[in-house]
Amino acid sequence: MRVALVTGGTAGIGAATAEALQAAGYRVAVNYGTNETVAHAFSARTGIPAFAWNVADAAACRDGAARVQAELGPVEILVNNAGITRDAMLHKMSFEQWREVLDVNLGGCFNMCRAVIEGMRERRFGRIVNMGSVNGLSGQAGQCNYAATKAGLIGLTKSLALEGASRNITVNLVAPGYTETAMVGAVPPDVLAQILKAVPAGRLATPDEIARGVVFLVADEAAFITGITLPINGGKYMA
Ligand code: CAA
């Protein structure tokens, strides 16, 4: 049974992904940042163990990955899902709002890949899926920080795909559109209504619909799919 680790995996798209992977027969662990109450409830409901660390902290990622591997075995599948928003127009954005989003969304992906990639190379197997966003493709007013990280993840994904290909390590990115999550729930209702008008499907995605893409990409049978961006956005932006 292959071992999968999902960061930011106790809620939203991460939780749906962890549960979909479990249902598909993987041994799953999730990481979370600080919300112990949500994490305990998630583990109690699903039986999936949850480990706390900050993905923006490189040493914490090394230690966290080591804890997961000691308990479950080598991480063969990594889903870099942890992400945050600090939305503001650039002329109102503080350096802290810029930095925090870069450190978690982009730095977190580097830190976690760095923590598991040597093992994947040695074992000559790995599946990495990074969580992008439609806004990394289209841009979004109020999200210069977030969109920059999500676009940056595409470059990281393609570069690491090149590095891993000869070792049977695939690296892909799923780019969700607006999805039924707390993150999207925090968008002002009038702004969200405007955004929804630009979604041909006329609705938000469900977290399960995003998880479907991840399960597809991490399968053993998906060995020849690497370096891609898989948009799941109801037609909002066709890259
Ligand atoms: N395009 C262009 N201009 C816009 C705009 C838009 N979409 N939205 C607002 N503006 C302009 C306004 O017209 C206004 O311009 P003027 O000052 O010239 O009149 C200016 O921006 C300021 O507007 P507000 O007073 O509303 O600004 P604010 O500071 O209160 O809020 C905001 C701005 C924080 C960006 C707010 O509009 C917002 O939260 N927008 C949502 C951003 C968004 O979609 N975030 C996605 C979160 S979910 C997610 O990230 C998941 C995922 O991957 C999809």
Q: Which residue has the least CA distance to atom 21 on ligand 1?
A: 89
Backbone dihedral angles phi then psi of residue 118, each to the nearest 5 degrees: -65, -40
In contact, 232 and 208? CB cutoff 8 Å: no
Mean pLDDT of the chain: 98
* 41-83 tens-digit pLDDT: 999 999 999 999 999 999 999 999 999 999 999 999 999 999 9
Closest protein CA for atom 6 of ligand 1: 141
User: Is 32 labeled as catalytic in the residue annotation?
Assistant: no
Supply the residue whose CA is at minimum distance from atom 8 of ligand 1.
Answer: 141
194 CA: nearest ligand 1 atom? 7
Q: If pLDDT is split at 50, 70 and 90, which confidence band does 37 have?
A: very high
Distance CA 197, CA 212 (A): 24
Considering only CA atoms, which residue is closest to atom 20 of ligand 1? 89
Q: How far is the CA of 217 from the centre of ligand 1 (A)?
A: 33
- Nearest Cα neighbor of 48 from 63, 26, 65, 66 is 26
Could you tell me the distance, in angstroms and rounded to a whole number, from the CA of residue 173 to the centre of ligand 1? 26
Could you tell me the two tokens for 34?
Answer: 């600080």
How far apart, in whole angstroms, are the C-alpha atoms of residue 214 and residue 105? 18
Q: How many CB atoms lie within 10 A of CB 52?
A: 15
Please report, rounded to a whole number, the percentage of residues in the chain having pLDDT higher than 70. Answer: 100
DSSP assignment of 172-211? EEEEE-SBSSHHHHTS-HHHHHHHHHT-TT-SPBPHHHHH
Q: Among the CATH numbers 3.40.50.720, 3.20.20.70, 1.10.10.60, 3.40.50.1970, which is that of 3-232? A: 3.40.50.720
Whole-angstrom Cα distance, residue 173 to residue 229? 5
Active-site residue (options: 26, 146, 178, 237): 146
Q: Whose CA is nearest to atom 5 of ligand 1?
A: 141
Which tokens hold the place of 9?
């995996």
Whether residue 88 has pLDDT greater than 90 = yes
| Amino acid identity for residue 84 in this structure | I
* 16-32 confidence digits (pLDDT tens): 999 999 999 999 999 99
> 181 with 215: CB under 8 angstroms?
no
Measure the CA–CA gap between 46 and 163, rounded to whole angstroms: 35
Residues with CB under 6 A from ligand 1: 85, 87-89, 92, 133-135, 140-143, 146, 178, 183-184, 187-188, 191, 195
Joined together, the tokens standing for residue 97 give 């709002």
Query: How many of the other CB atoms lie within 10 Å of CB of 167?
Result: 15
Model confidence at 239, pLDDT cuts 50, 70, 90, reads confident
Determine the distance separating the centroid of ligand 1 and the alpha carbon of 193, expressed in angstroms.
12
Burial of 193 (0-12, 13-18, 19+ CB in 10 A): exposed
Asked if the model's pLDDT at residue 222 lies above 90, the reply is yes
Ligand 1 pocket test, candidate residues 80, 104, 145, 191, most atoms within 8 A of CB = 191
148-207, pLDDT tens digit by residue? Answer: 999 999 999 999 999 999 999 999 999 999 999 999 999 999 999 999 999 999 999 999
In terms of Cβ atoms closer than 10 Å to its own Cβ (0-12, 13-18, 19+), residue 155 is exposed
Burial of 29 from C-beta contacts in 10 A (0-12 / 13-18 / 19+): buried
Q: Which atom of ligand 1 lies nearest, measured to the CA of 133? A: 53
